[in-house]
Copies of this chain bind each other. A is one copy, B any other.
Amino acid sequence: MSDTTLAATSHGATRVGARSGVAVPQGFRAAGIGVGIKPANALDLALIVSDTPAHAAAVFTTNRVQAAPVIVSRQHLARSGSMASAIVVNSGCANACTGETGMQAARHMASETAQLLNCPADQVLVASTGVIGVALPIEKIRAGLPAAIRALSADQGSAAARAIMTTDPFPKLASARLRIGARDAAIGGMAKGSGMIEPMMATMLAFVTSDASVPAPLLDRALREAVNDSFNAITVDGECSTNDCVMLLANGASGAVVDEATYPAFVGGLRDVCRELALGIVRGGEGATKLITVIVTGAATAAEARRAAKTIANSPLVKTAVHGGDPNWGRLIAAAGRAGVAFELERSAVSIGPIVLFKDGRPYDEAAPEAATYLEGKDIQVSVHLGAGDASSTVWTCDLSAEYVRINADYRT
By a beta-carbon cutoff of 8 Å, the part of chain A in contact with chain B is: 62-65, 94, 96-101, 131-134, 195-196, 200, 237-242, 314-317, 320-321, 323-326, 328-331, 333-339, 341-343, 345, 357-358, 361-363, 365, 372, 400-402, 404-406, 408-413
Q: How far is the CA of A58 from the CA of B323 in the complex (A)?
A: 36
Query: Is B345 in contact with A65, judged by CB distance below 8 angstroms?
Result: yes
Residues of B within 8 A of A317 (CB): 195-196, 237, 239, 408
Q: How far is the CA of A335 from the CA of B133 in the complex (A)?
A: 14
Q: Which of A97, A132, A406 has the most CB of B within 10 A?
A: A97
With contact pairs A337-B242, A338-B64 given, residues A98 and B133 touching in the complex (Cβ less than 8 Å): no
Query: Is B413 in contact with A372, judged by CB distance below 8 angstroms?
Result: yes
Q: How far is the CA of A326 from the CA of B413 in the complex (A)?
A: 6
Interface of A is mostly: loop
Given contacts A321-B409, A321-B411, 20 further A-B contacts (CB under 8 A): A63-B334, A64-B339, A64-B342, A65-B333, A96-B334, A97-B330, A97-B345, A97-B358, A98-B363, A131-B328, A132-B333, A133-B333, A133-B357, A134-B365, A238-B314, A239-B316, A240-B338, A242-B330, A320-B409, A323-B409
Query: Is B402 in contact with A330, judged by CB distance below 8 angstroms?
Result: no
Residues of B within 8 A of A409 (CB): 320-321, 323-326
Q: How far is the CA of A404 from the CA of B406 in the complex (A)?
A: 12
Query: Is A133 in contact with B97, judged by CB distance below 8 angstroms?
Result: no
Chain B, residue nearest A244 (CB):
B338
Query: Is B324 in contact with A413, judged by CB distance below 8 angstroms?
Result: yes
Q: How far is the CA of A65 from the CA of B358 in the complex (A)?
A: 13
Q: How far is the CA of A172 from the CA of B363 in the complex (A)?
A: 32
Copies in the complex: 2
Which of these, B133, B196, B316, B357, contacts A238 with CB under 8 Å? B316
Q: How far is the CA of A405 from the CA of B401 in the complex (A)?
A: 6
Show 25 A/B contacts (Cβ-Cβ < 8 Å), sorted by A.
A62-B338, A65-B337, A65-B343, A97-B330, A97-B345, A99-B361, A99-B362, A99-B363, A101-B362, A131-B328, A132-B328, A132-B330, A132-B331, A133-B363, A195-B317, A200-B338, A238-B316, A239-B315, A316-B316, A317-B408, A320-B405, A325-B413, A326-B412, A328-B411, A401-B405
Distance between A303 CB and nearest chain B CB, rounded to angstroms: 15
Query: Is A64 in contact with B337, judged by CB distance below 8 angstroms?
Result: yes
Residues of B within 8 A of A326 (CB): 409-413
Distance between A410 CB and nearest chain B CB, rounded to angstroms: 6
Residues of B within 8 A of A101 (CB): 362
Q: How far is the CA of A115 from the CA of B200 in the complex (A)?
A: 56
Distance between A228 CB and nearest chain B CB, rounded to angstroms: 18
With contact pairs A316-B408, A365-B134 given, residues A334 and B65 touching in the complex (Cβ less than 8 Å): yes
Q: How far is the CA of A363 from the CA of B96 in the complex (A)?
A: 10
Chain B, residue nearest A362 (CB):
B99
